[in-house]
Amino acid sequence: MTQLEKYIDHTLLKPTATIADIKKLCHEAKEHRFKAVCVQGCHLELAKEELGGGSTLLATVLGFPLGGMSTKAKIGEAKDYIEKGADELDMVLNIGWLKSGLDSLVQEEIRQIKQITGDKILKVILETCFLTDDEKKKASHLAVEAGADFIKTSTGFGSGGATFEDVRLIKSVVGDNALIKASGGIKDRPTAVKYIEMGVSRIGTSSGPQLIKTS
């Protein structure tokens, strides 16, 4: 049986998330030994304290959820989050630049963020629901060339989340040069297991406890 807890980024990114909600998220992550928790940047210090130095990694989002802020702003975020103890950064690429054919700007922005993260994990969010298949391929290629550790499908805030077709497409581009995180709309165990069987290394979900309790 697949040990789902090793793949789950237990996630809470709702703007209404309270301090109590974040504490509950971290408690669940420790209880179930999830791979990571993923929270908004303002909750990093609280989450780090609640996790208490255990095995669960601390992730946050960068340029979230639209990806359209300046590179300088994203760099500032990245530096701040690393200082606050983030182990992983999930960064939204600049979708408008990608669609405008500004490939060098997209790639350079990712490269600069990766320079800051160093040995910390950088996941680049494509937001696949807004992209054509050709754009998904190009974005995946640019992210890998810029040094991204993961390609992530979605923010969970767009018009759609992860799909098997998108994961298959991304995998065909990145091969073994980057890992894949499927995120957005994954709410049951069979779906999560199928993604893992397809080669996904992380599952981003707010339904972690339900996924590991269902058969």
170-206: per-residue pLDDT in tens?
A: 999 999 999 999 999 999 999 999 999 999 999 999 9
Predicted local distance difference test score (pLDDT) of residue 46: 98
Active site members: 90, 152, 181
Predicted local distance difference test score (pLDDT) of residue 2: 73
More confident residue, 11 or 213: 11
Question: From CA 26, how far away is CA 187, in angstroms rounded?
Answer: 19
Mean pLDDT, range 63-80, rounded to an integer: 98
Task: Output the CA–CA distances (angstroms, integers) from residue 70 to 28, 94, 98, 162, in the order listed.
Answer: 35, 9, 14, 26
pTM: 0.96
The band of 5, judged by pLDDT with boundaries at 50, 70 and 90, is: very high
Question: From CA 5, how far away is CA 33, in angstroms rounded?
Answer: 6
> Average pLDDT of the chain?
96
Given a cut of 60, whether residue 1 has pLDDT beyond it is no
Task: Output the CA–CA distances (angstroms, integers) from residue 111 to 65, 74, 86, 108, 145, in the order listed.
Answer: 19, 12, 18, 5, 8
Name which of 3, 1, 2, 11 is nearest 204 in CA terms.
11
The domain locations on the chain are: 4-213
Mean pLDDT, range 109-117, rounded to an integer: 97
Question: What whole-number percentage of the chain has pLDDT above 90?
Answer: 96
Name which of 181, 172, 173 is nearest 123 in CA terms.
181
Superfamily of domain 4-213: Aldolase class I (3.20.20.70)
Mean pLDDT, range 110-136, rounded to an integer: 98
Mean pLDDT, range 52-58, rounded to an integer: 94
